[in-house]
Every structure is written in C-alpha cells, then in structure tokens.
Amino acid sequence: MNAPDKIETFRHIGTRPVRPDGVDKVTGKALYGTDFKAPGMLWGAILRSPHPHARILSIDTRAAEKLAGVKAVATGRDLPTLESLVMHVGEGASDIVDVSHNCLAFDKVLYEGHPVAAVAATTPELAREAAVLISVEYEVLPHVLGLDEALADDAPLIREPARGRSDEKPSNIAMDVTMGRGDVEAALSGAAAVVEGRYTMEPVHQGYIEPHACVASWNGDGQAQIWCSSQGHFMVRSLTASVLAIPQSDIRVTPLEIGGGFGGKTTVYLEPVAMILSRKSGRPVRLGMSREDVFRATGPAPGAIIDVRLGADADGTLVAAEVTFKYHSGAFAANDAGAGVSSAIGHYRIANTRVSGIEVLCNRPAAKAYRAPGAPQVNFAVESAIDELAIKLGMDPLELRMKNAAMPGDLQTSGLPWGEIGWVQCLEAAKAHPHLSAPLGPNQGRGIAGGYWGNYGGPSTVNLSVAEDGTFTVATGSPDIGGSRASMAIMAAEVLEVPYEQVRCVVADTASIGLSFVTGGSRTTFATGMATVEAAREVKRLLCERAARTWQVPAEDVEWREGNAVCTSGEKLGSKMSAGEIAGSSIHSGGPITATSALSAQGWLPGFGFHICDVEVDQETGHVSIVRYTAVQDVGRAIHADYVEGQIQGGVAQGIGWALNETYIYNGEGKLENPGFLDYRMPVTSDMPMIDTVMVEVPNPVHPYGVKGVGEVPIVPPLAAVANAVHAATGKRMRSLPMSPDKVHAALHAES
C-alpha cells in the first residue's frame, strides 16, 4: 500500500480535534482497570515473597481457607506444567514457563515481592487478612542484585537447571548479542582522537499512575471473561490461555481504559491468578496491585554497565565504535539486549563497529519493556562519548554529529541499510532552531543529544462499518493509551472525505474483532492506521459499488467525492448519493456495508530525535534545573498534531526523570527501599519547563499518510542531553545516573 504521490493538503490529517473518548475522561466516567465491577465479584489478594531468593519448601493454606468469607485459595501448583515456548506477544519475547512462574512462583521465589499464593474473599479486608494466614516455609538462598556480582564465578544461580552459553559453565547470562563489522582495534589505534568511558545506572520503572488490575470470571464449562486494562487485550488472552493451557476462544477479554503503560503492561501478572481463583470459587474475582506491589513486582527497565570507545580522524570522521554492555534481566530473561545492540550507534556512519551486550539474571523483578527498551541506556553512553569526542577534537558537537549522520542507504549496525529516515533533517532543523543561539546565564549549560528507535508494524485488524444513516464506526483491537481513537477517526474521515464527527472509533473486545498486536512498539498509528485506511478505502469502494447498482451504471462510472457517490458519465451523470442515502437503502442493494482489514503491516521506519537541553546547576547544592528543552523529531507525518507532540513531551519528561532522580534503591538484604512515589522520584509539575517540540516530517512512503512511529524515540536522547548540559555548566562529566543533587555535588566538590 503506497502513499499517493501528491498529498499536500489534508482535510483532517495534522489537525487537532477533540478526542472521541475525551468527555468520559474529563468527567470521571471512563472505566479503568479498578473501576469495573462484576456482580457477585470477590476480592483477591496476593501473598508475596519477603525474600529475594529462596526455595519454597511448603505452603500451608488451611488457616486461610478456614477464614469465614474466603472462597478460594491458589498457589503455583494450581497452574499447569508447561513446555518451554517463547512467545512474541508483548514487546519482546517471553518464555511462557517464565510468565507462568512469574504469576505464581513454582518452586523458588526469585525476587522480593514474587507472588507465592493468592486468595479470594468477600471483602478486600478479608482477602488481605486471609493472605497473611497462609504459612510458607522457605529455605532462604543467597541472593544477588548487581551485574558484576551476578556474573562472578561464585554467584548464586537464578535459573535451575542453570543455562549458559553452550560451551561455558552455567551462569546467569540470559542473552548475548553481538553485531558489527570491520576491525575496531586497528581503527582505534590509528585514530586521531579516542575517548572511552564507563557509564552506569540502576533500573528505572515506567511509572504509570494506574496500578495493574483485572476482573476474571471463569465458569465450569471452560468459558471465561476478563476485564482489564492492558496494552493489548489479545496479548492478555494469548498469554492467559497459554499459561492456563486452555483454548484462546474460551476467553473473552474486554479492554478497559488504561492508565498508562509505556511497555510495562505488555504482559500479564494477575489475570491467570484471578482466573484460577474464579474457577475455584465460581465467582468473578478482582485482583489489583498496590503501588508497592507495582514497584516490587513488575518489570522495570534494566540497569546497566556500559563501556564505550569511540575513535575519530582529525577532521571528525568517526572511524571506530565499540560498545559493550551488561543489562539487568531480573528474575527472568527480558530480551532487551538485542534492541540495545541495534540501538547503540546505528545513527552514525562508522566503518568499524562492535556492539556487544548481555543480559544478566539476578534477584530483581523481571525487566519489562519501557519505551524504547534497551535503547536509552546505550544511547546515554554513546551520546555522552560523542560529546567528549567533540570536545577533544575541538569541534562543534552538532557539526560532529552532522558529519557522521547516517543517511538513507547507509548501513545499520546489523548490516541492513537504513530506509527513508529523517535523522539528517532533524539535525538540520535543530541547527536552524533559535534555541541553539539563545544566551545562557551564569551556571547554565547547554547539551545536545540524538537517538533513534526501530519501531514496529505487525498485525492489526480493523472493522469499519456504516450505520443506516451513513455515519461510520471504526472498531479496532488497539487499546487507546494516548489518543489513538482520535487518530483512527482522522484517518478514516480523511479517506471518506466526511466530517471528523461522523466517524467514531471504539476499541472492540477479543471476541468482537480479529486480533491485533499490542499498543506499544510505536506501531499503532502506523499499523492499525494502515488497516483503518485500507478498511476505509474498501468501504468507500463498496459505497460507490452500491450507488452504481442503484443507478444501474457500471462501477467505474461512480466516484467518491466529498462524502458522496457521484456518477461521472452516462445518463446518470451528475447524480449524487450521500453515504446516508446509500446506507439507508443498503438492505436492497446487497446488505450491510462493512469492511474488515486484517494485515501485518510491513515497511515501518524508525524514528529519530534530536534534543537540546539547557540546565542551570546550583554549584553549592548540586541541584540541576531544566530551564529550557527542545525536542526535534522525525514523525513521518503527524496525524493528530497534539497527540504526537504529547508523545514527544511525555517521553522527554520520563527521560529527564531517568537522568536526574529516578532509581531503584535496594538494601543489603535484597529488599526494595523505595517502592512508592515518595522516594521513587518522578518529575512533578514544578520540576519541568515547557517542552518545545519540532515535528519534522519525512513521510514513510509505505504508509498511506506517511506515518512513522513516534511514541518511543523521545525517551532516548534526554539522558545524554541532560548529562551533556551538566557538563557544559560545570565541566564535570557525569557517567552514573541518576544525576541527583548529591552526586552532582560530589562531582563538583571532589577535592574537599
């Protein structure tokens, strides 16, 4: 499906209409995960491991079962034994055995907070009381949290039987990826300037404000319903059915509104457990997480140790890059290392590269996707190193990047060529932006950084139906996290040439539409949009066909113009039928008018972003304030300008939080000390300035409207943009995140 050659002006694309679900959301009517109640619903509670690593010797649930009001109890033994099977349903791949064991521990607990048992009772208080009555006997094992510690020869092994690289002894290495070409060592030794550095950080959490929650109802005849918020209800169906070893069509998952995901809700934690409790009790069961549970037991982005070496010629041509990293996997393989490798240095044209990354198992919650999973970490290291290299070469850091910027046709790290990317255009837009020449005050510094994310396409199904009055409904299977209903309505209205308000978009449940991949991976406007356009075009064709049939003229004599079928030749020339007229008589012309598009979108293109950050550093206290921020991004084409800007601004804010204050703090006993919003410090309104966004449009020729995924790129550059700004303001290179005031202060006052 190709973009028409000349689309210069649009009726709806690029506009900013109010989203169709907006009134429900500003009035409190919209139903999110914990807002839904099923009649006769029981309340569930989960008992979680207090130990970071232990064998489960026994679980005694009798006291809990005896408590009046308790209707069901479940442990890992209630889940079926599964064969290893890697499933690609979320962002990244998971072995279904791991998913199952993460829902309810089987024989070992692998992190503090790992679910061990669950109860369902008639009130939330009774459920909590019952959970505490479950008696678990543990054999506490030594635990390990740090990357290097988990790689040490004597490290406790997380997985049993332990696996490692085939020719080596068992280890905690869960993934190992290397890409590159050329001769890095030779190139580095011949380079005019070389910089090297080690960059480190702890895990950070996606920080969605809505904790996980679901209601499940599983009847004795095998059929079930689940109501939950997620980034993909088909993923919920697929993973839940696989964990429980039941047919997928026996589960109907109704998507509730979702209060943020950012990748963290592309898996299941609660649904299989709620299902078991429901089956055992014969009633619907709600299970939800507290904020503490979310931090202790859901997947963060991996922390990292990253080593970088970059070499350049005297004129600034990059000749070699070596990036080696270790990422936390947590208790189960997270599969972020691959994305980390391909996201490290592909934005530069470098002849000699070696990018190598491993994931390390440890006694932490299993890492999960977080907005461009695997990319921000390596980008922080590489873009900081580029900054250092520019200084060493005496070269402007933007010029250094422009000189080496990858262009369409240049090779990615994998060896495949880049398509129609807009990286150079971002750099040019930044170069022309007044931010770069704005004056800086005392203790202020400016940093720049750029990065990218591969994005994705994949399967989406859309149904577009015409009501008898000629108004339209677009049904998708893509949960709406950030305004996608509006974008689908825009695209369909554009094709159909009708007012935006005549096209409404809904998110259908798993029984009511064909499957779609998750709302994640920056794929929804691209892939579900593509399917929406295809369905809209088919509906347009059908409307014309019905008009032709009504007029008894050949189909090629009918065109669609401005929302009407128009006869373009013959004796009916000039005849017009509106969508309403056609649909109103559809019962006679062939039946209901509807079209379904089910596709696996190909041809997605990565997004590139370039950020400019001004900071002010209080030299006495180490506080870093962001005083100005501009984010330039190639968005392909902005379908709904506000929501594209919103994605950019949101990603920037998360990146700034990651750079300045967010981190997991564990104590020596492997227990998380900051499982709450008080001490897991995300940016608040007073921490942030306005975020200027510049949307560069280098359309993707494959998408009918030129869309490129936008959601994930913006979290990639801020870490280095802020660090480079801090360096400019203070002369200190911060290589360890977060750059909290005490760490900046320590760097500034190292001598004293």
Name residues contacting other proteins, limited to 198-217 (CB under 8 A): 206-211
- Please classify residue 685 by burial: count the beta carbons closer than 10 Å to its beta carbon, then call 0-12 exposed, 13-18 middle and 19+ buried: exposed
Contact present, 533 and 492 (Cβ < 8 Å): yes
Contact between 301 and other proteins by CB under 8 A: the answer reads: no
Binding mask 560-599 for other proteins (x = CB under 8 A): ----------------------------------------
CA distances from 550 to 382, 568, 577, 595 (A): 64, 15, 10, 20
Give yes or no for a contact between 44 and 274, defined as CB atoms under 8 angstroms apart.
yes
Among 272, 650, 704, 706, binds other proteins (CB under 8 A): 650
Residue closer to other proteins by CB (options 23, 314) is: 23
In this complex, which beta carbon is closest to other proteins, that of residue 265 or of residue 354? 265
Per CB under 8 A, the list member of 9, 27, 84, 166 interacting with other proteins is 27
| Count of residues in contact with other proteins, rule CB under 8 A | 80
Candidate segments 75-83, 329-337, 445-453, 618-626, binder of other proteins by CB under 8 A: 618-626
Q: Do residues 683 and 715 touch, judged by C-beta distance below 8 A?
A: no
Q: Which is nearer to other proteins, 630 or 700 (CB)?
A: 630
The reply to whether 300 sits near other proteins by the rule CB under 8 A is no
- Would you mind telling me the total number of residues written for the chain in this entry? 752
The distance of closest approach from Cβ of residue 743 to other proteins in the complex, given in angstroms and rounded to an integer, is 9
Q: In b/e form, how buried is each residue of 320-358, taking b as 16+ CB within 10 angstroms? A: bbbbbbbbbbbbbbbbbbbbbbbbbbbbbbbebbbbbbb
Angle between helices 718-730 and 741-748 (to 10 degrees): 40
Identify the residue among 652, 702, 729, 734 touching other proteins (CB under 8 A): 652
Residue 129 makes contact with other proteins by CB under 8 A:
yes
Check residue 45 for interaction with other proteins (CB under 8 A). Answer: no
Positive or negative: CA dihedral 141, 144, 145, 150? negative
Question: Are the C-beta atoms of 729 and 445 separated by less than 8 Å?
Answer: yes
Contact string (CB under 8 A) for other proteins, positions 155-194, x = contact:
----------------------------------------
Q: Which of 35, 183, 307, 697 binds other proteins (CB under 8 A)?
A: 35
Could you say which residues in the range 54-83 bind other proteins, by CB under 8 A?
none
In the complex, minimum distance from the CB of residue 451 to other proteins, in angstroms, rounded to a whole number: 17
Distance of CA 412 to the CA centre of its chain: 22
Question: Whose CA is closest to 528, among 557, 550, 506?
Answer: 506
Cβ 272 to other proteins, closest distance in Å?
A: 23
Residue 551 within binding range of other proteins, rule CB under 8 A:
no
- Binding of residue 443 to other proteins (CB under 8 A): no
Rounded to a whole number of angstroms, the minimum distance from the CB of residue 653 to other proteins is 3
Q: How far apart are CA 211 and CA 596, in angstroms?
A: 34
Q: Applying CB under 8 A, which of residues 380, 423, 500, 643 lies at the interface with other proteins?
A: 643
Q: Write down the least CB distance from residue 513 to other proteins, Å.
A: 22
Q: Does 633 bind other proteins (CB under 8 A)?
A: no
Q: In what order do the strands lie in the sheet with 193-201?
A: 173-181, 352-361, 318-330, 304-312, 193-201
CA nearest to 381, candidates 312, 327, 334: 327
Residue type, 6: K
- Out of 321, 691, 725, 737, name the contact with other proteins by CB under 8 A: 691
> What's the closest the beta carbon of residue 518 comes to other proteins, in angstroms?
15
How many CB atoms within 10 Å of residue 430?
24
Task: State the nearest-atom distance from the C-beta of 576 to other proteins, in Å.
Answer: 35
Would you count residue 716 as binding other proteins (CB under 8 A)? no
Residue 538 found at the interface with other proteins (CB under 8 A):
no
Strand 70-75 relative to strand 54-60, pairing: unpaired
CB of 650 to other proteins, least distance (A): 5
Nearer to other proteins, 570 or 676 (CB): 676
Q: Which amino acid is at 651?
A: G
Provide the minimum distance between the beta carbon of 416 and other proteins in the complex, in angstroms, as a whole number. Answer: 33
Interface with other proteins (CB under 8 A), residue from 8, 161, 684, 750: 684
Q: Of 135, 317, 585, 674, which one interacts with other proteins (CB under 8 A)?
A: 674
Nearer to other proteins, 209 or 587 (CB): 209
Q: Between residue 250 and residue 289, which ones bind other proteins under the rule CB under 8 A?
A: 257-262
Q: How far is CA 447 from CA 124, 297, 387, in A?
A: 50, 35, 9
Name the minimum Å distance from CB 371 to other proteins.
11
Cβ-based nearer residue to other proteins, 159 or 296: 296
Binding residue (CB under 8 A) for other proteins from 653, 720, 728, 747: 653
Query: Per CB under 8 A, which region of 14-22, 49-57, 190-198, 457-465 contacts other proteins?
Result: 14-22
519 part of the interface to other proteins, by CB under 8 A: no
Pairing of β 251-255 and β 285-288:
unpaired
Distances from the Cα of 204 to the Cαs of 155, 277, 305, 441, in angstroms?
A: 24, 32, 14, 32
Tokens of 243: 């964990």
Q: Of 211 and 454, which has the nearer Cβ to other proteins?
A: 211
DSSP string, 161-226: S----TTS---SEEEEEEEEES-HHHHHHT-SEEEEEEEEE--B----SSPPEEEEEE-TTS-EEE
Can you tell me which of 501, 590, 665, 731 binds other proteins, judged by CB under 8 A? 665
In terms of CB distance, is 700 or 740 closer to other proteins?
A: 740
Residue of the chain from 451, 454, 683, 717 that contacts other proteins (CB under 8 A): 683
Residues 462-481 vs other proteins: string with x where CB under 8 A?
-------------------x
Cβ 680 to other proteins, closest distance in Å? Answer: 9
* DSSP strand pairing (691-696 vs 624-634): parallel
Of residues 413, 487, 516, 654, which one binds other proteins by CB under 8 A? 654
Does position 501 interact with other proteins (CB under 8 A)? The reply is no
What CA–CA distance (Å, rounded) separates 495 from 11? 9
- For residue 257, what are its two tokens? 């509104």
d(CA 505, CA 425): 34
| Interatomic CA distance for residues 416 and 635, integer angstroms | 22
The secondary structure element, H or E, covering residue 108 is strand 108-109
Residues near 175 by Cβ (< 8 Å), separated by ≥ 6? 329, 333, 334, 335, 336, 337, 338, 357, 358, 359
Choose, by CB under 8 A, the member of 357, 374, 459, 483 that binds other proteins: 483
**Contact between 642 and other proteins per CB under 8 A:** yes
End-to-end CA distance of the chain: give it in Å, rounded: 65
Q: How far is the CB of 537 from other proteins (least distance, A)?
A: 28
List 232, 316, 482, 609, residue binding other proteins (CB under 8 A): 482
DSSP letters, 477-492, are SS--SSSHHHHHHHHH
If the CB atoms of residues 184 and 612 are measured against other proteins, the closer one turns out to be 612
Shortest separation between residue 673's beta carbon and other proteins, angstroms: 5
Residues numbered 722-741 forming contacts with other proteins, rule: CB under 8 A: 740-741
| DSSP-based three-state secondary structure for 609 | strand
DSSP 533: H
Smallest separation, CB 28 to other proteins (Å): 2
CB of 112 to other proteins, least distance (A): 15
Least distance (Å) between residue 265 CB and other proteins: 10
